[in-house]
Amino acid sequence: MSTARVLVGTRKGAFVLTSDGKRQEWDISGPHFAGWEIYHIKGSPADPNRLYASQASGWFGQLIQRSNDGGKTWEPVGNKFVYDGVPGTHQWYDGTPHPWEFKRVWHLEPSLTDPDTIYAGVEDAGLFRSNDGGQNWHELSGLRGHGSGPRWQPGAGGMCLHTILLDPANPNRIFVAISAAGAFRSDDSGQTWQPINRGLHSAFLPDPKAEVGHCVHRIAMHRSRPEVLYMQKHWDVMRTDDAGENWQEVSGNLPTDFGFPIDVHAHEPETIYVVPIKSDSEHYPPEGKLRVYRSRTGGNEWEPLTNGLPQNNCYVNVLRDAMAVDSLDSCGIYFGTTGGQVYASADSGDTWSAIVRDLPAVLSVEVQTLP
Amino acid sequence: MIRIVLPAHLRTLARVNAEVHLEVEGPVTQRSVLDALEASYPMLRGTLRDHVTQTRRPFVRFFACEQDFSHELPDAPLPEAVASGAEPFLVVGAIAGGRRP
């Protein structure tokens, strides 16, 4: 029987949760890297026992850890992230120029085909790649060098490159998203980039329809239709059917269209999930009710999923990288909260339960479906 | 022999349980001590000082002989008591907690 392995990054360490295909009983190991911020852990699709973790500390900076045995043991690999050339400046919060400074790795995206190739999205926003299992990192500087960098600015969490999507049908195509710059696409393996933000509207910009500057929180793709992307923006849930050339709002009947994560059902490319959050300054669920919203129509028509989730006095947040889906026959949905719970549904979101409680604040959740 | 005391998180990273003992060639300075430390424990590269500029990370402090050497020049000699191994060179995480205000 297939099993599920959930990789949880928290403010104070990493946890690995495993279960059989029923996903009722969970074994928990951790904390790994106790006391360190683990922004993200992800396994290689080409070798599920190869895991990478982003480990960081305000005292001691950035480390990258690698496991070859599914998270039982780890070894530190390369942590030298140096921007290519003269980094230049981006906008600071007050609109003044501010030099690019590396702060941390937000997201690690292993290649779909090679366990030793991995991409890293970093703050201040940039994209790095390693071709030797994380030992050495090189910036794909065409992204920062695209020309719009001086107009990028930090969101409340910093100016981070948080989403990296590799097109399973086109090995040369990569999508990334940056807060607050927007979404970008490369069709030449990351050498050159174009902003893909037509249709986005952001009231905090002098020109709300500007080419760049949008605070994209997350984008998601179903591997069977890589030209269709879903986006949770600072406000608004969006969709594109042409690889980002044009976006349409699909917030529909959501109680609020602010939020952070968005994800797609493993077997139903028109079924998507978001967690509405009250507002940009009130990062908790509306009415104190933790509700995942599901659309089975690719957006616009949404239904609340509440069975098993707290429906009163709940004021946690769900961060952008803290939702994932497994690919078991009955698709499992997972998300972690800033209150330290990881909730799971083994039935596409109909019913939920906490598979672990009282962890440190959850920064990221990934899940691997193992044979 | 130079004695170095690392903070707990870096002892875990370097997989050492107690003081680190190192031989340093030439003058004993912050730079020569840290160079020797990183040569023996390469996983510590980048955790104490910037990879490129080699400047001390802002929330890392260097103490010895009940004095703060954090703001001394990297090539300034450390006390003879450190060079002789009578006193350890202490690497300390700042009490501020690692987050800029």
pLDDT tens digits, one per residue of B22-67: 999 899 999 999 999 999 999 999 999 999 999 999 999 999 999 9
CA distance A111 to A34: 27
Q: Give the minimum alpha-carbon distance from A122 to chain B in angstroms, rounded to a whole number.
A: 16
CA distance A193 to A190: 7
Among A59, A73, A137, most B C-beta atoms within 10 A, so best to mutate, is A59
Question: With 90 as the cut, is the pLDDT of residue A161 above it?
Answer: yes
Average pLDDT over residues B74-94: 97
Q: Which of B46, B59, B93 sits opposite A79 (nearest CB)?
A: B46
Q: What is the pLDDT of residue A1?
A: 76
Contact B61, B43 (CB under 8 A): no
Cis amide bond preceding A46, omega within 30: no
Phi and psi, residue A275, nearest 5°: -125, 100
Q: Which of B46, B52, B94 sits opposite A59 (nearest CB)?
A: B94
Question: With 60 as the cut, is the pLDDT of residue B101 above it?
Answer: no
CA distance A247 to B67: 60
Q: Where are the beta strands (DSSP E) in A115-199?
A: 118-123, 126-130, 138-139, 160-166, 174-179, 182-186, 194-195
Averaged pLDDT of chain A:
97
Whether residue B47 and residue A36 make contact (CB cut-off 8 A), yes or no, is no
Q: Which of B43, B45, B59 sits opposite A59 (nearest CB)?
A: B59
Q: What is the pLDDT of residue B99?
A: 66
Question: With 80 as the cut, is the pLDDT of residue A88 above it?
Answer: yes
Q: Which has the closest alpha carbon to B45: A250, A196, A80, A336? A: A80
Q: Which residues pair with A90 in a beta bridge?
A: A98
Residues A188, A178, B99, A64, CA torsion sign: negative
Q: Which of B46, B51, B98 sits opposite A58 (nearest CB)?
A: B98
Identify the band that residue B98 occupies on the pLDDT scale cut at 50, 70 and 90: low
A63 touches chain B (CB under 8 A): yes
Q: Which residues pair with A249 in a beta bridge?
A: A238
pLDDT tens digits, one per residue of A285-337: 999 999 999 999 999 999 999 999 999 999 999 999 999 999 999 999 999 99
| CATH numbers and ranges of domains, chain A | 43-339 (2.130.10.10)
Contact A184, A175 (CB under 8 A): yes
Give the type of residue at A358.
D
Among A12, A37, A60, most B C-beta atoms within 10 A, so best to mutate, is A60
R_g of chain B, CA atoms, integer Å = 13
Give the type of residue at A139.
E
Q: What is the pTM of this model?
A: 0.97
Cis amide bond preceding A207, omega within 30: no
CA distance A37 to A56: 5
Question: With 80 as the cut, is the pLDDT of residue A32 above it?
Answer: yes
Element containing residue B80 per DSSP (H, E): helix B80-83
Chain B contact set for A61 (CB, 8 A)? 46-47, 57
Q: Which has the closest alpha carbon to B46: A223, A237, A59, A253? A: A59
Q: Which long-range contacts (CB under 8 A, 24 or more apart) does A168-173 make?
A: A168/A112, A168/A223, A168/A226, A169/A226, A170/A226, A171/A112, A171/A113, A173/A226, A173/A243
> A225: helix, coil or strand?
coil
CA distance A34 to A12: 6
Whether residue A57 and residue B51 make contact (CB cut-off 8 A), yes or no, is no
A93 touches chain B (CB under 8 A): no
Chain A contact set for B55 (CB, 8 A)? none
Q: What is the pLDDT of residue B96?
A: 83
CA distance A223 to A238: 18
Residues B63, B66, B71, B74, CA torsion sign: negative
Q: Which of B43, B57, B99 sits opposite A61 (nearest CB)?
A: B57
A86 touches chain B (CB under 8 A): no
Q: Give the minimum alpha-carbon distance from B27 to chain A in angstroms, rounded to a whole number.
A: 26
A151: DSSP letter:
G
Q: What is the pLDDT of residue B56?
A: 96
Average pLDDT over residues A115-131: 98
Closest residue, chain A, to B10 (C-alpha): A60
Contacts of B8 (CB under 8 A, 6+ apart): none
Identify the band that residue B100 occupies on the pLDDT scale cut at 50, 70 and 90: low
Whether residue B9 and residue A61 make contact (CB cut-off 8 A), yes or no, is no
pLDDT tens digits, one per residue of A47-74: 999 999 999 999 999 999 999 999 999 9
| CATH numbers and ranges of domains, chain B | 2-93 (3.10.20.30)
Q: Which has the closest alpha carbon to B49: A79, A33, A55, A60? A: A60
**First-to-last C-alpha distance (Å) of chain A:** 7
Chain A contact set for B52 (CB, 8 A)? 82
A99 touches chain B (CB under 8 A): no
Q: What number of C-beta contacts closer than 8 Å exist between A and B?
A: 43
Residues A303, A308, A310, A311, CA torsion sign: positive
CA distance A79 to A103: 12
CA distance A31 to A62: 18
Chain A contact set for B7 (CB, 8 A)? 59
Between the alpha carbon of residue B5 and those of residues A63, A336, B1, B70, B84, the distances in Å are: 20, 37, 13, 15, 15
Q: Which residue has the tokens 């060639």?
A: B25
